[in-house]
Structure 1
Amino acid sequence: MRKFWIAFWAVVIVSFIVLGWAGTQIYQQRPPIPETFKTPAGAIIATGADITAGQNVWQSLGGMESGSIWGHGSYVAPDWTADWLHRECVFILNEWSNTDYQMPYDGLNPEQQAVLRARLTETIRTNTHDSPTNTVVIDPVRGRAFDANVAYYRTLFSQGDSRQAIPSGTLTDPDKARQMAAFFFWSSWAASTDRPGKNVTYTSNWPHEPLIGNVPSSDAIIWTGFSIIMLLAGIGLLVWYNASRKREPVAEKLPDTDPLMGMQPTPSQKAVIKYFWVVSGLFLVQLLMGVMTAHYGIEGQGFYGLPLAKWLPYVITRTWHVQLGIFWIATAWLAAGMFIGPTAAGFEPKGQRLGVNVLFGALIVVVVGSLVGEWLSVTGKLSGSSWFYFGHQGYEYIDLGRIWQIGLTVGLFLWLYLVGRCIIAAIRKGGEQKTLMTMFLISAVAIAGFYLAGLMWGKGTHLSIVEYWRWWVVHLWVEGFFEVFATVVIAFLFARLQLIRLSTANMSVLFSTSIYLTGGIIGTLHHLYFSGTPTSVLALGAVFSALEVVPLTIIGFEAWDNIRLARSTPWVQKYKWPIYFFVAVAFWNMVGAGLFGFMINPPIALYYMQGLNTTPVHGHTALFGVYGMLGLGLMLFSLRVAHIKEEWKDNVLKFSFWTINGGLMLMVLISLLPVGFLQTWASVEHGYWYARSPEFLYSPTLQVFKWLRVPGDTLFGIGGLVIALFVFGLATGHSLRRRKSS
């Protein structure tokens, strides 16, 4: 076991050293925010203060939940970086064409167009940033293009556009609109200006814009090839190792009866049950918000004719859809941890029930407060800086205001205290469970600690730096250490049921965690290829994100092991459907995280696909398919133990399981994936701006595929409603076949 511990700590320490070094490179080489953009005559186009203020305006209106910047955000409105860049290019080309040839650019012959494009490329991509004065001098024609774009965005955000799901009156202050436009301009300048001494822009030539020669860099192509080689090598090594070891997932002798049959829930475990009611309620509201968000992609401002955007615009429904997903999944996992704690310790620590109830109250305050604050911010009802502290931060997955974010952090550390003291007591007992419990404690500390990364930026922090820390939360917190926590919890549950040996569980947890984190920690950087980061980030992200896929290629063994456990002995049948949700986790890990994840992760793929509907293909199948299914499985397992002597209506769970999984599959295969592929074609053929434009998204073919979400969404929604009603029915008795006397 010692060699497994050495491997684990070596992976963690080395990986964080590399990730930290990459962070220093991002800090040092981020795109500058000039003090001024000015013309040769000295006319000020925009200032650094304008850009930072504009970033704040954009954040307060929902930020990434309405369109995107550098490809990160939502999918109905355009990517503002690409949109600004293309509009600026077209304006300049038309002005030059009208001056030189007395006709618009589209009317020129190919040779004349080529001459103007070469001139445009030189004008746009040449870096005129002067470091000593921190100023940029731009051609006067760019100043005129700036004014034209400012006028366009003022009109767009004041009058609205249903095709982009932007309501009328979103931003009526002309000064704030100009500041936000200055932020869009700066993001476009960084995406189209070569780094000093290099022929690649600050965003590695993203987005694809043929008019100025923004095409994939040589680094993107080379590191894509190398990442595929590393993937194949990793798969080969892991398959060889897996084939060489003896597989004994099931204990040699299974108990004749359920080892937990005599268990009596402790007061704190009974208090945890209400968390699962909240999980079910939040899940239902998230489903409703998801339906509305998807429909806004078709109707824009309404819901089957109802003008819902007056009260719940797209920005809010999408924000709540994302936030509620994080809330209910995290709540399910954390509640499972508190439920398991006393069982692992063998006793109920003093004051445990009080702590569980206090944490529950804090959870309600944070959830309700953050959702209300986000609505107030987006609708312009928060003044000054209050939007940042109580409203909407504008960064996807970390949308909640800073005060609510701090409250959530405090809650996580209270959870760590409640769970940690139980686990420490279990560790002190010694024996074979010590290794498993130690990993349990490590993962719990990581869950509380790594959310702190979300506090590493302020209201005016540079976007590249925000993105670095944001992905620490989204990738490392959610996809990294929650994954470790899940591995430990599932192993503990099966070991407590005596379905697997503790020695097997210990070795499996340490080995699988080490393998996963080998790619998972440094693989965080694959989210940052085009976020104003240097080439080193692209190289590391490409290689190690490919290694993330390696353990997922043999996850079928885990799925089969779980199926064998569900069928191993008659009394295990009462745990069949919780275990089947764990089987679904393995399936979606392979498909959602592995197949669909690697589909978009290589640099050359993400260059064209970032922010297209290929992203929610991966997002839905990985976030819900893996972590959501696991949350449901852990919830059902905990409730099964709490109702250990009662018979459930398992047919209800069977129906819910298959409708949820079938609905998710339909949603992806007949709607999201075809839309994403068509957008990818448009991105490659015409430019990224076109793939995100309302003209393309509202074309007849894409509208058909958008409507094809209805069957999958309906099936999924029915399954979600059924499982929520089942959980509520455990309290009322409607989900029980009969009650046995104690």
Structure 2
Amino acid sequence: MTNASLADPVEELSPWWGRAVAVTFALGFAVLILLTVKAYQYAPPIPDRTVDTSGNVIFTGDDVRAGQEVFLKYGLMNNGSIWGHGGYLGPDFSAAVLHNWALDLAERRAQERFSKGYEALSPEDRAAVDGEVGALLKVNRYDPETATLTMLPAGVETFAKEIEHWKTYFEKPELNGGLTANLITDPKELHDLTAFFTWAAWGSVAERPGVKHSYTNNFPYDSLAGNHPTGAAVLWSAISFIFLLGGTAIVLLAFGKFDYLGWHGAAAPVEKWVLSDAQKATLKYMAVASVLFLGQTFFGAGVAHYRADPGSFYGIDLADYFPSNLLRTWHLQSAIFWIATSYVAGALFVAELLGRASPPRQKLGIHLLFGAVAIVIVGSMLGEWAGILQWLPRSWFWFGNQGWEFLELGRFWQILLAIGLLFWFFLVWRAVEPALRDPQRKGFAKFFLIAAFAIPLFYLPALFFGSQTNYTVVDAWRFWIIHLWVEGFFEFFVTVVVAVIFYQMGLVRRITALRTIYLDAILYFGGGLIGTGHHWYWTGQTEVNMAFSATFSALEVVPLTLITLDAWDFVRTTRGSDSMVVRHRWTFYFLMAVGFWNFVGAGVFGFLINTPIISYYEVGTILTPNHGHAAMMGVFGMLGAGLMVFVLREIVADDIWPRIEKLVRVAFWGLNIGLAMMVLFSLFPGGVLQVLDVTENGYWHARSLAYTGTPTARFLEWMRMPGDLVFMFAGALPLALALVWGYFARWRATGDAR
């Protein structure tokens, strides 16, 4: 394999680029680690005993932790949520218990003061009672010396009633968003689960010692319970705009002064590369990824149907064997798996383009890794099925459904995945290592290896907590994976891969590609590392986290805004009559789609929900999956599809490609149009109306059937169907057909499809 401009002198970048990246990482991780440590220090305490005013034990700390395990074992985080994080098919359990607690206290106070029911009070008397209810619930009756929490009589009554309430909730799928009928009937499990929900409700309303707001910064919004947004939420939202405008101005100034930033630079000559057997072996990864992608769309359509009609699936009792929490688990996990599989294969393919040599037995290593990937995918998804259906009563955490959203796969499968990623890095290192000895390619090789090693390294936080770890601590580490791993290091790795592809194709000069990598590292991690904390506003962290996270999260929008500046340069770089450009035009189209959805999904929709004051009312509403679909599929999914098409085009014979290309063309437009229809017809308007309901009636109401069961909400859920059908049958299906056709075409042509 040969490449561009071997005779060119080695032009070096200023050392200040590397220093700037080092400072960005050092400062970012210092603050992020500080915020994570504070999660341990300031997490809402779990009382050893919760007692009534006479000292009788209502529930214990062990009950709360056991209740959290019940919550996880039954996959309830993919049904409802705690403190806004989880599924959207059911209620926010903490908000529901808090509101019922406030109602019971209001009823008791109304009877004591006015000898009549709360609903019968005049507006003036009700306002007086409301004020008393909020004041009483805000009092923190936890004694840290004895680790004892004392509950008023109304709270004791609420706890007893809530056990029956949740028993009824789990009886019928139409009441709970499509769970298996009679999901939880064991009295001990119902008691412990209610203890966990009650602890979460207490943490969301009782004032944190030393301040005038709750452990969750007064989330969720519930005026009867006395929960209103804090002044800090308003202040840091306003200041975040200053950071956004200031950061944008600085970068615009830099782009104006240094006109070489971005994809500028004359193209270098390129020679056609010759593919190795090891590179050709990556095609099966892409074929499997495309089939997984198709499966993910069906799981997602099933989840959407449960939201629109939770009682039945066109007359079929689907909930007995494929309940909604299982389909949502599979929808999330298959998305992670197919995107990661396409990246793993793309990296192995591009690594040899950079190293220009195929290491001995590299093909064997790729086969072994494929087997390991298949075992983890199939084993973990079957385990999740068995776990959620309670076929693994003792080993659910290790081999079944671990229960944490996005990290549902059992701990055993997580360990295998981490080992597989390390083996993948070993294969990448073997392929890239020759480039370390070439001054022209040394910079790319270093970035490639650093970015690749970061992926297994920063998956390790998934192993830092267990089923009974304090929820606040778990959420801190969980978003080290969800945000930092996926939105940080995967995004950086993608930048490196794309830069290497452009350089290898001769579309940009070496110095241009390296400069782009450095710039993206500074911009993405400058806001992205500390910005991880915008997920922690309401999960038991302090206002220190809110201050850092709100301001630096705003900076995450800056590089996405710059995509609009860089768009024309990108188009100019990737157009023309050059044979490589024409050959890979659909890869470039997918990369252009990545830029568009990065700006819209991650930039516009992401910033919309990340300011504290908006997040306070919005988190856990449909505006969250609106951002998630546009950003996850629009950015990482489109890039995964682009890598599939890139590898497919290189491996498939030229005489077969014109027929396969027709499927690729349909897939490109089907995926983009279908995703746009989902967002415009359903997710965005549905999210806006749900947030409006939060502001008018309280968070508990907008997350309950009182809102989600209304004709308007159900209609907007049904409006997902047109976009879903286009996305599935004009997007994912033709892409899968193209990849599978290409794989078997090579098999027929060579007798070796491996």
Aligning the two structures, in what range does the TM-score lie when normalised by the shorter sequence? Answer: over 0.9
Matched, 1:368 2:378: yes
Letter paired with 2:266: E
What does residue 625 of structure 1 align with? 634
Q: Is the 8 A contact 1:230 1:546 kept in 2?
A: yes
Q: Is the 8 A contact 1:558 1:586 kept in 2?
A: no
Measured after TM superposition, the shift of residue 299 of structure 1 is: 1.2
Q: 1:164 to 1:98 in 2, by over 3 A?
A: farther
Q: How far apart are the structure 2 equivalents of 1:492 and 1:159?
A: 54
What does residue 307 of structure 1 align with? 317
Question: In structure 1, the residue corresponding to 2:275 is in which secondary structure?
Answer: coil
Deviations along 1:552-605, whole A, 9 cap, x unmatched? 112023433332233222412121111110000000000000000000000000
What does residue 503 of structure 1 align with? 511
Measured after TM superposition, the shift of residue 86 of structure 1 is: 0.6
Identity of aligned residues (%): 39
Q: 1:240 to 1:251 in 2, by over 3 A?
A: closer
Q: Is the 8 A contact 1:450 1:473 kept in 2?
A: yes
Q: Is the 8 A contact 1:88 1:149 kept in 2?
A: no
Matched, 1:707 2:715: no
The count of aligned residue pairs is: 731
| Of 27, 39, 45, the match for 1:14 | 27
Letter paired with 1:333: Y
What does residue 518 of structure 1 align with? 526
Measured after TM superposition, the shift of residue 200 of structure 1 is: 0.6
| Of 167, 178, 196, the match for 1:183 | 196
Letter paired with 1:331: T
Map 1:513-592 → 2, pairs under 5 A: 513-571=521-579, 572-592=581-601
Q: How far apart are the structure 2 equivalents of 1:253 and 1:597?
A: 35
Measured after TM superposition, the shift of residue 394 of structure 1 is: 1.4
Matched, 1:721 2:730: no
Unaligned runs of 5+ in 1: 738-742
Map 1:195-344 → 2, pairs under 5 A: 195-247=208-260, 249=263, 251-252=265-266, 255=269, 259-260=271-272, 263-344=273-354
Measured after TM superposition, the shift of residue 92 of structure 1 is: 2.0
Q: Is the 8 A contact 1:301 1:313 kept in 2?
A: no
What does residue 378 of structure 1 align with? 388
Measured after TM superposition, the shift of residue 132 of structure 1 is: 1.2
Letter paired with 1:403: F
Q: Is the 8 A contact 1:675 1:702 kept in 2?
A: yes
Measured after TM superposition, the shift of residue 250 of structure 1 is: 5.6
Q: Is the 8 A contact 2:308 2:715 kept in 1?
A: no
Matched, 1:731 2:740: no
Q: How far apart are the structure 2 equivalents of 1:371 and 1:731?
A: 25
Q: How far apart are the structure 1 equivalents of 2:234 and 2:427?
A: 49
Letter paired with 1:723: L
Measured after TM superposition, the shift of residue 349 of structure 1 is: 1.2
| Of 440, 455, 473, the match for 1:465 | 473
Q: How far apart are the structure 2 equivalents of 1:173 and 1:605?
A: 39
Measured after TM superposition, the shift of residue 356 of structure 1 is: 0.8
What does residue 352 of structure 1 align with? 362
Q: How far apart are the structure 1 equivalents of 2:565 and 2:642?
A: 19
What does residue 437 of structure 1 align with? 445
Measured after TM superposition, the shift of residue 150 of structure 1 is: 1.3
Q: How far apart are the structure 1 equivalents of 2:336 and 2:320?
A: 26
Q: Is the 8 A contact 1:648 1:736 kept in 2?
A: no
Q: Is the 8 A contact 1:228 1:546 kept in 2?
A: yes
What does residue 490 of structure 2 align with? 482
Q: How far apart are the structure 2 equivalents of 1:341 and 1:579?
A: 19
Q: How far apart are the structure 2 equivalents of 1:168 and 1:309?
A: 7
| Of 97, 102, 126, the match for 1:84 | 97
Measured after TM superposition, the shift of residue 264 of structure 1 is: 3.1
What does residue 740 of structure 1 align with? none
Measured after TM superposition, the shift of residue 297 of structure 1 is: 0.4
What does residue 127 of structure 1 align with? 140
Question: In structure 2, the residue corresponding to 1:612 is in which secondary structure?
Answer: coil
Higher mean displacement: 136-145 or 471-480: 136-145
What does residue 669 of structure 1 align with? 680
- TM-score, normalised on structure 1? 0.96
Deviations along 1:7-66, whole A, 9 cap, x unmatched? 011111111111111111111111000001101211111110000000000001113101
Q: Is the 8 A contact 1:499 1:565 kept in 2?
A: yes
Deviations along 1:75-134, whole A, 9 cap, x unmatched? 110000101101111122123324443432121012211222222122211011111111
Q: Is the 8 A contact 2:287 2:743 kept in 1?
A: no
Higher mean displacement: 599-608 or 703-712: 703-712
What does residue 73 of structure 1 align with? 86
Q: How far apart are the structure 1 equivalents of 2:670 and 2:197?
A: 43
Q: Is the 8 A contact 1:376 1:391 kept in 2?
A: yes
Measured after TM superposition, the shift of residue 249 of structure 1 is: 3.1
Letter paired with 1:167: T
Q: How far apart are the structure 1 equivalents of 2:685 and 2:285?
A: 38
What does residue 155 of structure 2 align with? 142
Question: In structure 2, the residue corresponding to 1:212 is in which secondary structure?
Answer: coil
Measured after TM superposition, the shift of residue 734 of structure 1 is: 11
Measured after TM superposition, the shift of residue 644 of structure 1 is: 6.5
Matched, 1:426 2:435: yes
What does residue 7 of structure 2 align with? none
Unaligned runs of 5+ in 2: 1-12, 750-754
Please report the RMSD computed on the Cα atoms of aligned residues, expressed in angstroms. Answer: 1.7
Measured after TM superposition, the shift of residue 323 of structure 1 is: 0.3
Q: How far apart are the structure 1 equivalents of 2:746 and 2:428?
A: 31
Letter paired with 1:690: H
Deviations along 1:349-370, whole A, 9 cap, x unmatched? 1221111111111111111111
Q: Is the 8 A contact 1:68 1:78 kept in 2?
A: yes
Q: How far apart are the structure 2 equivalents of 1:673 and 1:163?
A: 23
Measured after TM superposition, the shift of residue 163 of structure 1 is: 5.1
| Of 102, 113, 118, the match for 2:131 | 118
What does residue 695 of structure 1 align with? 706
Q: How far apart are the structure 2 equivalents of 1:377 and 1:296?
A: 20
Letter paired with 1:470: R
Q: Is the 8 A contact 2:52 2:153 kept in 1?
A: yes
Higher mean displacement: 224-233 or 642-651: 642-651
Higher mean displacement: 174-183 or 418-427: 418-427
Q: Is the 8 A contact 1:154 1:178 kept in 2?
A: no
Q: Is the 8 A contact 2:283 2:743 kept in 1?
A: no
Measured after TM superposition, the shift of residue 523 of structure 1 is: 0.6
Question: In structure 2, the residue corresponding to 1:78 is in which secondary structure?
Answer: coil
Letter paired with 1:211: L
Q: Is the 8 A contact 1:397 1:474 kept in 2?
A: yes
Q: 1:259 to 1:63 in 2, by over 3 A?
A: farther
Question: In structure 2, the residue corresponding to 1:210 is in which secondary structure?
Answer: coil
Matched, 1:43 2:51: no
